[in-house]
Structure 1
Amino acid sequence: MEKKETPFIPVAVLRDFSVRSFQASGLSPEHAGWISDTLIQSELRGVGSHGIIRLPFYCKRLLDGGSNANPDVRIVAQKPSSILVDGDNGLGQIVSIRAMEMVIERARTQGICFAGVRNSCHFGMTAYYPLMALNSGMIGLAGCNTATVMAPWGGGKSAIGNNPLAITVPTNKPYTLVLDMAMSVVSGGKVRLEAVKGTKIPLGWILDEQGRPTDNPADMFPNGTLLPMGYKGFGMAIMIEILSGVLTRAATLGEIPLWFDKTATPTNLGHFFMAIDIGTFLAPDSFKDLVGRLIDELKSSPPMEGSAGIFMPGEMEYLKEQEYRQSGIPVSPEVLKTLDAFAQKVGIAPVPR
């Protein structure tokens, strides 16, 4: 069978389709733009697992009533440098953008602010929210709990989320330091993307329903499990579960439904966000220069044999974004077929080729 070529879609064209999709599903133009920006940013950074492939699932939650299209995102408890935010069952991106805006605003006067969030939903690429802090001269941090898609260290069945964490740090380089990682070997979205494309995956990513290693990504759904990044990934997932879920009294562990499966059911997902005002400690430009010196020293380390070089967290994503802004975003024929089917369902024009 002849393999179909992957088309490259201009950024503005793909964003326009996303905005139209979310408006057709009940979001306001403003909120449709917000969530579309998160999906496009994911694609630009090469994180297609959290990009446009997720659009039909988010829209289905709106159409099925599982998520509130017009949430009243509000502070329900507060102290000067900490807030508890209720997301009113909104889509995670809408809730999280508002929560991060609140955090940044308070950090300007308090030097630091931490927000716990409850009554939210899946929020996409974790790094999007701490990246919001950069324009205000701040370090950003975000984390989230998820449905039980990952086995404990030594376990053979899902029992905890893969609970992502992201930290962003400004530098004097063209790129920002961005650590964005789930606590599983790979994200569930990455496995789903490979399943849609029909490709094999490395052993060690997932277990099938019987708890056996497999290279077929389809074995993950519905009853397989992701594997943790060793005992350290499992330990980190526990701590993020506590900060996201227990501290905020959001849902935890088995209380959380699969957001893309139970699309008529609220998830009550928990998040946390933090912003640190660098100016409290030293001049922001001095901080960036010091971070730049740290990067230079690390990059001066001799590379191992066969290595392409030493890359900083977020550097390869920056390079990918520069490339895709010129070439357009690659969207596989399989994903485009899914988007076309969704467009027909809600009565909008498909993605132009």
Structure 2
Amino acid sequence: MKIPADRLTALATSILTYAGGQKDAASRVATRLVSANLTGHDSHGVGMIPAYVDGIIAGTLHPDANIDVVQDKGPFLLVDGQRGFGHIVAEQAMELAIDRARTNHFAVLSLRNSFHLGRLGDWGAMAAEAGFICILYANVQSSRPLVAPFGGSDGRFVTNPYCTAIPATDSTPMFLLDMATSKIAMGKARVAHLSGKQVPEGSLIDAQGNPTTDPSVMFDDAGGALTTFGDHKGFGLALLGDILGGSFSGGGAYLPEREMPSSITNNMMAILIDPDVFGMAQAFGVDMDRYTAWVKASPPAPGVDAVQLPGDPERRSLKDRTANGIFVDAGTLEQLRETALRAGMPQDELDTLISDTGLGA
């Protein structure tokens, strides 16, 4: 069943409000989650709400938290998210970093102790929309490691995403490369599991280290692990997420003593660069336009409509899902129902909200 974005946002807002008691924060988080669904990233959409409610109930997510500036050294900022909603504290931290980049042509933000940041691309896009090139590294600390190192047979870290965003020009849309360093995000394994589908070959190993396409090995204490994209290449990039996002911020790389039930903790490094720092922004934009046009002019391979650059699939999905609604699988819907009741929502209100989405029909 497809649900209009505004109705899905209303459902998400209500669940998070009941769970955390912070309606404004809930609304802002819900809008970001539904934005992820709209752009095709269901792994980071409303399906994350059960984990957020788990965190609130367990006390590992503080819904009223704001950032604390730990160190302020001009263009260099160290900020603590105080285990607040990542969608709230990351936006606050990026606003500070953007302000510093405007003053200094450059900024380095180190954000630690944020609950789940959502799509890393949201924060890259925020900087790019303000006119800055943005490079981000992040790590993840959770209740168990989810990704195996290249050549290993069990999880040792998590999906540690990487992102680079480059501002749009008059001719070229924003360049937005946002990716997990695992072959698939954990959320994609969750969506496949709830939908009764398999994952792509090479994405997972079971508890014995054998390749599998069955996403259930990631759940119910089965002991499976995700694999890194590009084998040793993704493995190297994953390590940078833990070192630059985690160790450098003081939030720490993934270690067993930092595991915490009902928690998804992110640490992040963001590097912002003014593309006009050398007075060549116009030439930079012209060259980028010529280059992207050259790359996209490659004749499509058999079975492919056209070459797509980073950000193109999200723009296409946004247009389609805004017009036609967001598909929510039955497994995710059932989890949302259960989570709403666990958060304290009355059954009659839940029934009304579900009916309003069209899923109660």
What TM-score results when the alignment is normalised by the length of structure 2? Answer: 0.89
Tell me if structure 2 keeps the 8 A contact 1:250–1:268.
no
Tell me if structure 2 keeps the 8 A contact 1:92–1:121.
yes
Match of 2:183 in 1: 185
Match of 2:288 among 287, 291, 298: 291
Instruction: Give the partner amino acid of 2:224.
Output: G
Partner SS for 2:111: strand
Superposed counterparts of 1:39-188, under 5 Å? 39-147=33-141, 148-171=145-168, 172-173=170-171, 175-188=173-186
CA distance in 1 between partners of 2:11 and 2:259 (Å)? 25
Map Cα deviations across residues 103-138 of structure 1 (whole Å, 9 max, x no partner).
Answer: 111111111111111122221211011111133112
Tell me if structure 1 keeps the 8 A contact 2:134–2:272.
yes
Assess, with a 3 A threshold, how the Cα gap between structure 1 residues 289 and 31 changes in structure 2: closer, same or farther: farther
Structure 1 vs Structure 2: percent identity of aligned residues? 28
Where does the alignment leave 5 or more consecutive residues of structure 2 unmatched?
A: none
Match of 1:245 in 2: 246
CA distance in 1 between partners of 2:251 and 2:81 (Å)? 11
Instruction: Give the partner amino acid of 1:319.
Output: R
Shift of 1:91: 2.4
Where does the alignment leave 5 or more consecutive residues of structure 1 unmatched?
A: 1-6
CA distance in 2 between partners of 1:25 and 1:274 (Å)? 34
Shift of 1:145: 0.6
Map Cα deviations across residues 295-326 of structure 1 (whole Å, 9 max, x no partner).
Answer: 10111223333332211011011111011111
Assess, with a 3 A threshold, how the Cα gap between structure 1 residues 332 and 105 changes in structure 2: closer, same or farther: same
Tell me if structure 2 keeps the 8 A contact 1:104–1:136.
yes
Map Cα deviations across residues 236-257 of structure 1 (whole Å, 9 max, x no partner).
Answer: 1111211111111113222476
Match of 1:254 in 2: 255
CA distance in 1 between partners of 2:68 and 2:136 (Å)? 18
Match of 1:310 among 298, 307, 322: 307
Match of 2:3 in 1: 9
Shift of 1:96: 1.2
Q: Does 1:201 align with 2:199?
A: yes
Shift of 1:64: 2.1
Tell me if structure 1 keeps the 8 A contact 2:80–2:112.
yes
Instruction: Give the partner amino acid of 1:127.
Output: G
Deviates more, 1:139-148 or 1:54-63: 139-148
Match of 1:326 in 2: 323
Tell me if structure 2 keeps the 8 A contact 1:209–1:219.
yes
Instruction: Give the partner amino acid of 1:224.
Output: G
Partner SS for 1:180: strand
Instruction: Give the partner amino acid of 2:239.
Output: I
CA distance in 2 between partners of 1:285 and 1:54 (Å)? 41
Assess, with a 3 A threshold, how the Cα gap between structure 1 residues 199 and 101 changes in structure 2: closer, same or farther: same
Shift of 1:158: 0.5
Partner SS for 2:337: helix
Instruction: Give the partner amino acid of 1:294.
Output: Y
Instruction: Give the partner amino acid of 1:110.
Output: N
CA distance in 2 between partners of 1:10 and 1:26 (Å)? 25
Tell me if structure 1 keeps the 8 A contact 2:172–2:289.
no
Tell me if structure 2 keeps the 8 A contact 1:209–1:220.
no
CA distance in 2 between partners of 1:329 and 1:177 (Å)? 24
Shift of 1:271: 1.2
What TM-score results when the alignment is normalised by the length of structure 1? Answer: 0.91
Shift of 1:285: 5.7
Shift of 1:41: 1.4
Partner SS for 2:112: strand
Shift of 1:33: 2.3
Tell me if structure 1 keeps the 8 A contact 2:38–2:318.
yes
CA distance in 2 between partners of 1:84 and 1:177 (Å)? 27
Shift of 1:284: 5.2
| C-alpha RMSD of matched pairs (Å) | 1.9
Tell me if structure 2 keeps the 8 A contact 1:175–1:318.
no
Equivalent pairs, count: 343
CA distance in 2 between partners of 1:24 and 1:185 (Å)? 35
Assess, with a 3 A threshold, how the Cα gap between structure 1 residues 307 and 256 changes in structure 2: closer, same or farther: farther
Instruction: Give the partner amino acid of 1:233.
Output: G
Q: Does 1:341 align with 2:326?
A: no
